[in-house]
Amino acid sequence: MSTDSTPSAPELDATLVEALRYGPFPHALRTAIAHRGLSLARLGAHLDRMGVHVGQSTLSYWQRGLRHPEVPRALSALRALERVLTLPPDSLVVLVGPRTRPAADRQPVGSFVEFGSLWSGSDALLSELDVDPTAARCNAELQVLSVHDMITVDQRRSQRGVTTRMVVQANGAGPDRYIAMYHADDGSSVDKCLVRTAEGCRTGRIRRHVESSTMVVELLFDRRLTEGERHVFCFSLHDEPVGPTPGSNRTFREPSGEYLLQIAFHRKAMPARCTSYFRLRDDAEPTQSEDLVCGIGGVASAYFSRVGRGLAGIAVDWD
């Protein structure tokens, strides 16, 4: 009797057909998994029975675009995924291209996901803070000169908090606040996320959207800035511990100055690998990717000297 529990191929719906035809790979994989109704744990169990081991965290990274399968090493895993997900042969394989390495002279260009449409419900959150989500730019009165994010990860591999220090410059007279949007790790309850402020700002209104794990925070300055004035402010967000974090990123709607992202790991929970990346959209393949050294003190650092429109981040691999 055969032990292969892979079901016979069902009729593909139009959404899945379009995802497989046009990609990109993370979107196609997410759509195929949702079409089959499998959890990542169940998907991994199916693959194990076929003699192919792909870690649950790796599957999560692949479908979120934080990792890209490397060919030819991942070919057997991709073909096994096609069987488990009852997809046509090579439908995932053809969407996987070679990994893109960093290029010093390459500048990111192209379309970008608007601030107000990043997650379901974000338009309503912004509207509640008197921000027009259809406007050309949020925080339009401020130019971001520098951002430093420090992420802390506990011994259970969970993200516990992020401290952000920003330097902004007023484009005109009058700006007195900054609007920050935060998307918590999968499984984290954004209702329990705490906001703490340090120098340069205080907490204003906070709006949360539990279904999408999204929170919008109004950070109030102590006064209105004059035109050309530079202002430094610092705040932190603290999460309840959940599962292993896949990493972190920041979305830039407009070209900005320098960005430093650091992740500090607990000494008893060091990662197998950390990779910095830049992508134009959440569902796009990285235009830059570079392996990082987790140095003394267990800190991985990614520095971006000039940030274009897109997402800059660090992906964490625990396998």
The predicted-structure confidence for 287-304, as pLDDT tens digits, reads as follows 888 899 987 789 999 999
Q: Where in the chain is the domain with CATH 1.10.260.40?
A: 14-95
Q: Does domain 14-95 have CATH number 1.10.260.40?
A: yes
Burial of 254 per CB tally in 10 Å (0-12, 13-18, 19+):
middle
pLDDT digit string (tens) for 94-133? 887 544 433 333 322 222 233 334 444 566 677 777 776 5
Alpha carbons 265 and 75: distance in angstroms, whole number: 32
Burial of 143 per CB tally in 10 Å (0-12, 13-18, 19+):
middle
State the number of CA atoms in the 13 A half-sphere of 42 facing the CB: 10
Q: Where in the chain is the domain with CATH 2.60.40?
A: 115-317
> Domain spanning 115-317: which CATH class is it, in words?
mainly beta
pLDDT digit string (tens) for 37-83? 888 888 988 888 888 888 887 888 788 776 778 766 788 888 899 89
